[in-house]
Structure 1
């Protein structure tokens, strides 16, 4: 018999931070890439900063393989040197995973987790959410694979020694705010740049043109692409000398973003040089893998009456952020005991897909649950916690927005 998936199926819904609909998929980031004054004020602040440049290696059953699709990993930054002044590199991140028959990655687990015997028990702290989310969007050819491993090693570089490609990846993929991003943008803009201000050189727009998302090749579900442009503005407010500094490789989309910038007109004035901006777009929503059937648990004692008593409602921010931003859904199977006085205990994650990060969030959701006191207790109850992005009822696409605003229990 199939084991009881006890109680409620918690469904956590949130809005996607990725641009998944046609009308928003290519909107530029909302912060200025170049703020000359803040760069000058922050010179001492960013001086000791190191960029941690990731490199990757993938093996399956010990053999090195390459992904059919992989987008760029974030470049992190640190401010630490050793006591002797030498550079400290970020420790490597190792993720174990499998590939299903469609080429999609699943069973993504930090390598520090012990290999399961008959079920997956996920510990309380899950590192590397950003890396897990990126790997969840990768694809592999050649059919199902097991015993796969992604090793991410970091090369630490002072900002002043970073290559242009490093700076582009930090600017477009990491997408932070603050003095470091401003300093990186100033490097990309060139020594004569004066295009400061919040947006478009601080000039109010007269005509705004957005790229057509139908042009070029959209990333696969959960994936991301980017392009960085630099241009000048003449006295009449028209963009001139528009060029692509770098991108994730979609030449058609690069050309379309140049067209959009060229057709955008701002208020006239003193000519501006070195305006820098990046456009990004994401693939469609990536649904969670199917929930598996489970065998009966002979140690389970979880009467149906417990189902009506137990209540848990996930917080709006419990959807793992790195996955929400990419539009990747997931689930966790959570096991717990319930005392007669209503307290939840012995909470464990027995499975989470496509990555362990969903298990960490699922644990917190169930741990926050309570029940009315009763004479009935529950032992080894199992509840599925689903992380679902809401869709537009007309288009079927995820609704726009950067933060989750709804969570519900079935």
Structure 2
């Protein structure tokens, strides 16, 4: 059997295969609440055979959003639409996960299709005001961006409490997997990166100091999150910029996360301003997942331009990662997962649609038999 499509158990949570739908911001929530769009958007991946499906980066506070359209979990009203998502995903055989996030100095931003820049008084949408942003240091993310407030102990304590409260709501919703967003230049990664973090106190300078605050958030989450449920952490394995966070530092950080009880490191990269020295290529972040997996002795998830079933399976078969996540490829082909299973010869030959929802499988099996018959008929 292909290892990509074997059932896997992390703590007490069993996942039907090693494929994952990565958290993808849709910037379409209303007041932090998901809509019917999100139900359809996430449901299609469950119907397509994905193993673990993450709800997009979900703000732990209003100021922790990237945009006004972000998902949120800072109040109880936001739980109800998430409960609908959880129920749907589970009914389709998928495992529901949620990524909790704080955008830090990249918050107070326009939606990507509205410019993807900071909200300014001169270009704000009606009813969508800019807000005060926060970071490890009072350094704007880029030219014309808001200057974030350098966080003090009180701010850090609030963020820890916000993550904890959001995790409690996520558990109330029935999510089986929790992921802490610690990548892409957002708040927690801004502490790890020496490019963003210019502090002169116990939270800046050495790697030990730069890890201190994000580790304190991870500790609070893991201590609360039920012991039978796994916790993932998404990191930028490297900044990809000279003088930035390195893969060697990422390995050390992963070791500390493992000590806290984190189960899987989700290995992405980048997020700081400036031109990265990484070249985008198929599976270009897989080496990070492999290095962290073997050097820190922890399970990892590979992500980034993974598009082909054989490519994905090879990542797992060769021991580069334990999970393979898709994002834009899943948007392009929501049934990629069932198609990959067929392509790898894991679907029963006599009934390749056995795992599909019966409402589709019944008709697709008939279609296959008809096509087989037509293709076998002599051409006249």
TM-score range, shorter chain: under 0.3
Tell me which structure has the larger Cα radius of gyration.
1
Could you tell me the TM-score, scaled by structure 2's length?
A: 0.25
Could you tell me the TM-score, scaled by structure 1's length?
A: 0.24
Q: Which has the higher strand share?
A: 1
